[in-house]
Amino acid sequence: MLYGEALYNPENSLEIKSNYVYALTLQAKICFNLEKYRDTIQILSKALEIKPKSDNDIALFYRNEAKFKQGLHEENRLIQETY
């Protein structure tokens, strides 16, 4: 198991403090770096529910970036399937 993969476990790592925005944001950054964009979006959406968008610029930035990257991944996959 890779180091990054060991850090990535959305089910277990935030079980105790699931409403702790900093922990959610950190977990989302790990997911983002592992190119797990759907998980990044899901985690940051929860963080933004807890701490509103106007007060949580980092979560909003990473969520939007993950949506962009996810779209690029899906577009590249469709292109590769076509050729």
Give the percent of the chain with pLDDT over 90.
13
> Residue 51 class from Cβ within 10 Å (0-12 exposed, 13-18 middle, 19+ buried)?
middle
Q: What is the mean pLDDT of residues 9-23?
A: 63
Model confidence band, residue 39 (pLDDT cutoffs 50, 70, 90): very high
Average pLDDT for the chain: 78
CA–CA separation, 7 vs 37, rounded Å? Answer: 15
pLDDT at 83 over 80: no
Could you tell me the pLDDT band of residue 34, with boundaries at 50, 70 and 90?
very high
* DSSP character at residue 14: T
Domains, the chain, with CATH or none: 3-82 (1.25.40.10)
